[in-house]
Every structure is written in C-alpha cells, then in structure tokens.
Copies of this chain bind each other. A is one copy, B any other.
Amino acid sequence: MGILETIKRPEDLRRLSKPTLHDVALELREELIRVGSAIGGHFAGSLGTVELSVALHYVFETPEDRIIWDVGHQAYGHKVLTGRREGLWRIKRADGPSGFLRRSESPYDVFGAGHAGTSISAALGIAEAARRKGEDRKAVAVIGDGASTAGMSFEALNHAGHIGAPVRVIYNENGMSIAPNVGGLSRTGDVEAYVRSLGVEYRGVVDAHDLDALIVALEGLRDDVSGPVVLHVRTRKGCGYEPAEADPFKWHATTPFEIESGQRQKTAGGPPSWTASFADALSRLADRDPRLVAITAAMPDGTGLDKFGERHPDRVYDVGIAEQHAVTFAAGLATEGFRPVCAIYSTFLQRAFDQIMHDVALQNLPVVFAMDRAGLVGADGPTHHGLLDIAYLRSIPNLVIASPRDENELQHLLATGLEADAPFAIRFPRGAALGVALDPEAKPLPIGRGEILREGNDVALVGLGKSVPVAEAAAERLAARGISAMVIDARFVKPLDRELLRSAAEQCGHVVTIEDHFVAGGFGSAVRETLGREVPEARVLTLGIQDRFVEHGEAADQWRAEGLDSGSVAEETARWIAPDLSPRWDATPSWVGRSEN
C-alpha cells in the first residue's frame, strides 16, 4: 500500500515528515499519469504542479487557509490530496468531479474557476475579509503566467498594491497558456519589475519541483508577510512524464495513452470537427481575400487558428488571454479596411461584451465573431457552456447573428460575414460537424433569410444551427404519427426572417423553436417577439435550456436531459399541438417547465 492511499485529507499530509513528502509527490505524479493514460483529459498542467500541490497543503492549514487556484486545469493534484482520489478516475463525467474547481464539490475548493485570471481578485477579497474580521486566515492565489495575461489579473494586483491587504500570489511561470505563452511580459521575463511597479512585494524565483526549497519559500510566504506578495515559481508543464515535457502544448489535453511509449489513442474517425471545418473554410477565404486576418485569445488550437496559421502564418494574432483587447484590436484593424475574424469561444467572448457593444457595434465596424463552443459543451460544464451569447448579443443594434446547420452553411456564412458591412457573429457548437459535402466555393448568403427545409401544415419546427437536424429528425417522427411538420432553418437570429416566420405561422398556426441556449432571452424569445407582432394569433413553444446552470457530463446526455433530442422534441410537439391524440411514447419522465404560448 502506497502512502498516497493514506492521505484522505490534507491533515493526513501535514502529519508526515518532510522527507516523506517526496514519496507523496512521487506517488501523486504516478497516479496522475496512470489516470491520464487511462481516461485522457487535462493532465500536463497538473503534472507541473505536483510538488506545489503537496507543499501548499503541507504548509498552509487548508481549508481554514484559502488556496484559490486559477482556471483549474492544474488542480488535479489538489483534488487527489483533498479526498477526491477515487473520483479523479471519473473526472468530468456526470458521476465524477468537475474538471475545474467548484465550491459545491469540496470545502477545499474555496472559489470556483474555469475562466482564467480570476484568482487574484477572489483571493484579495478573501484576504481583505480576513483583515476586516481580524482573522489570521491566509489567502493564496495560484496563477500561471498564461492567466496573468488577462487584464483582470493586472487590475487585481494593482488594487492589491493600493490597499495593502496581505494577499499571497504564487505566480507559476511555465511559459505556457495552453499554447506557448505570449505577451511582452513573457518576452522580457521581468516579472519582478512588473510586480514591484504595482506596489507589490516580489520574491523568487523558486524551482517548484525542488520540494524542500519550495516548502521553505512557502513557510516564508505563510509567516513573514505584511502586505501583498508575489512568489515567483517556475515549473515545467508535463513534468515527470517525458513525452509531455517534450511537447507540453500537444499534451495540455490528451486522449488515453500508453505510458511506456507515449502512444496516444487515435480519436475515432468520422466527420471533421466544427472547429476544423471553420479553420479550413477560413483558410480558403483568406486565399482570396487579403483583408482577412484572424485573432485568437490564447486558443490557437481550440479555435483551429493553428491550422489557419500553417497556411497564413502572418495573418493570425494570438493576443493572450485578453478577449477585451482582442475585440478592440480587431475594431482598430477594421477601421483601416481589414476584415478581422475574432475566433473566440462563446463563453470566453462574454469577457468582451462591452467592447463588442462600445467599440464594434456602436461604430458599425465589420468584425466577424466566430463563436465556437456555442451551446452545451459537455464535459467542461457550466463555466464553459455557451448558453448566453444570443441573449447578450441580440439586443445590441447593428449586429448580425447567424448560426449554420452544417459545415457547408458555415463556410457560406463566413463568406457572408466577410462581405457584410456590419459586425457579424456566427455561433457553432463543439464537436463533430455533419460530414456533408462542401460546395467548391463559399458564397455570401442573403442576410436575414432563413430556409424551408420541409413543407408541412400542422406545426412549424424552427431550428437554428445544431438544432436544425434535430428539427428534421423530429419532423420525420411526427410524420410517422400523422402530424405534418414544416421544418425551417432560421439561420439568422438577427435580423430574423420575418416574412418566412410570418408565412409559416399563418400556415401552421403553431411554431416550435429549438435552441441550445437559455430559453430566457434566447432565439425562441426573439421569434416570440416577432410573431407576437406579425401573427399574434399564432402559438409559440420555445424549447431550449431552462433557467438553471447545467452541470458537466456527456454532451449527448445533456441534450437528452434538456429535451433537445429529436425524440423529446417530437413528443413535446405532439403533446402540445394535439394533447388528446398523442399518448406518451415512452415511460421516461419528461422534463419540466417548458415555456409555451
């Protein structure tokens, strides 16, 4: 029996002798490699923080002292040491722990995470709370150099330097975000000058794989602090697993692999991902449009801009985890005639809401927003779902908002956006696209025009993006029950195709909208506004995500649980338009709280 098994909580760790901690670190690293090889996931970050996780829980009295991890990709060791060792084998599954930090999951997760750059702000609030209450509680933020490129990290350090609360910040330099880190600070490496200029004490650099030295430094950070302090440590992402150390970018997240050889499981074949389809379409559009440049906020791989950059190396900008700057930088380029494409996940674009309104839409500048990971994202859970973008964008004047039903429509919508003299947002989901054939050339579509995909008379099913095929399949099911359903690909949320919606509503009397977005304020809500004016006698049923956060799990399960699979849509539609004729088709309990009109 290894020593790791005896550690059920950090108190167990703190009872050990310092030399024994080396064994704990060794076993912890082996455990992380074993889990990673078996189930894949985000492990390179956590391999880099093995000693840091052990030392932090050894030196500080957690959970009374507060450790605030930024993002959470590097906190798997923390999970193991705080009673979630078994759970780690099910991480990100519906029956396992979150891939990030969750207050609801453990008293040791004192502040939730998922988006980067929040930890210093939260820790400063916690440190200031302790100061106000006269408590000796310590607050320690652990933030990487990647997350430190987020503006709010600067805002927090600058505020810390002003109020002087004893917040402890561990600045973990590993040279990486997910991709290699960017930014002038990363180039100069002069973290000391940066930190001191903000009025914050600087200590370091400490090699955070040297456990003894690290413990000494942390004991100093615990006992010998009178104001805000940054302790600068260095780690190697993937440390202790050679293939990951050699290529930490590739190993940031992994499929299951063979430990000995580093051989990674091939992902299954099948259609290309939406991301790959986007990157491919964008690359081809850039061939013919010299105005096109692409911008990512530290996600060249996730957004596909790494592939775009292989073909157009001088036309892609990685600005760091800096969505606010990304958008206004794009606006600046647009004023000079360029057509910037901001490729930012739906959930991360939330950071730039003000800039979209103030710098892009108000000036009606032609910036394209490619919002990958819109809708339910599955394993990454509530911090990463893109369930708000329609609501936060559709009230902004001038913006066009569209969503493609397949990768062929995606290339055409990109072409449309690049020709539009207006800001243009395109949302598309995570995962595999449909594998449809691509037209040889991407061509602009008429803005604000949807398409009837199937004629019908009893009810109109209106899909958007990923829900269009759901509507088609639901119509098939309804046909088998003798219900004639029209199917519409709305394609545009803004402007909506009023004519098309009106004629469909007049013809069918009943309209069902289907979306992978919160119902409140979403696509269906926009349809309701329009039909309320155009065809007030029509009835509208809006299917989508109800008013609560959706936990992590398998994306397909989430779709079913939210009633967005074609079976659920067909059943709900049938019960709505013909409640007496349509007995329940199966015995599983239906979902609740549908919004219907």
- Show the binding face of A for B, using Cβ within 8 Å: 103, 110-112, 114-115, 118, 121-126, 128-130, 132-133, 139, 149-163, 182-188, 190-191, 193-194, 196-200, 293, 317, 319-320, 322, 324-325, 328-338, 340, 348, 350-351, 353-355, 357-359, 362-363, 382-383, 387-388, 391-392, 394-398, 518-522, 525-526, 528-529, 531-533, 536, 539-540, 542, 547-549, 594-597
Contacts and interface: CB of A to CB of B under 8 A. Distances in A.
Contacts of A122: 328-329, 331-332, 335, 359
Nearest to A352: B354
A332 B129 contact: yes
Contacts of A139: 332
Binding site secondary structure of chain A: helix
B121 A325 contact: yes
Nearest to A196: B193
B353 A353 contact: yes
B536 A597 contact: yes
Contact of A597 (B114, B354, B391, B533): B533
Contacts of A112: 358-359, 362-363
Nearest to A338: B129
Given A125-B333, A125-B335, A197 B197 contact: yes
20 contacts: A103-B363, A112-B359, A112-B363, A118-B355, A121-B324, A122-B328, A126-B336, A129-B332, A151-B324, A152-B328, A159-B329, A184-B199, A190-B196, A193-B193, A324-B351, A350-B357, A358-B383, A395-B518, A533-B597, A536-B597
A576 B536 CA distance: 13
A528 B57 CA distance: 52
Contact of A123 (B115, B194, B332): B332
A529 B542 contact: yes
Nearest to A596: B533
Given A111-B363, A139-B332, A162-B184, 19 more contacts: A112-B363, A122-B328, A125-B329, A126-B336, A130-B336, A132-B293, A151-B152, A156-B322, A158-B320, A184-B199, A185-B197, A193-B197, A350-B357, A362-B382, A392-B395, A521-B525, A521-B526, A528-B529, A533-B595
Contacts of A382: 362
Contacts of A124: 329, 332
B528 A324 contact: no
A136 B215 CA distance: 54
Contact of A151 (B129, B150, B184, B549): B150
Q: Which 10 A-B pairs have the closest CB atoms?
A: A161-B184, A125-B332, A151-B151, A184-B199, A532-B597, A129-B336, A121-B328, A155-B322, A155-B325, A194-B197
Contact of A595 (B325, B392, B529): B529
Contacts of A153: 151
A330 B125 contact: yes
A560 to B, nearest CB: 20
B362 A354 contact: no
A10 B383 CA distance: 50
Nearest to A182: B162
A300 B525 CA distance: 38
Nearest to A549: B397
B156 A149 contact: no
A9 to B, nearest CB: 20
A156 B394 contact: no
A81 to B, nearest CB: 21
A124 B594 CA distance: 47
Contact of A115 (B199, B337, B354, B529): B354
A199 B188 contact: yes
A390 B51 CA distance: 46
A582 to B, nearest CB: 19
A123 to B, nearest CB: 7
A184 B155 contact: no
Contacts of A595: 529, 532-533
Contacts of A594: 533
A505 to B, nearest CB: 12
A395 B520 contact: yes
A355 B152 contact: yes
A159 B363 contact: no
B331 A125 contact: yes
Nearest to A103: B363
A197 B186 contact: no
Contacts of A333: 125-126, 128-129
Contacts of A185: 158, 161, 197-199
Residue of A193, A324, A548 ringed by the most chain B CB atoms within 10 A: A324
Contact of A388 (B395, B520, B549): B395
A218 B115 CA distance: 41
A132 B338 contact: yes
B155 A522 contact: no
Contacts of A129: 332-333, 335-338
A313 B160 CA distance: 18
A336 B395 contact: no
A158 B336 contact: no
A330 B548 CA distance: 22
A444 to B, nearest CB: 23
A568 to B, nearest CB: 18
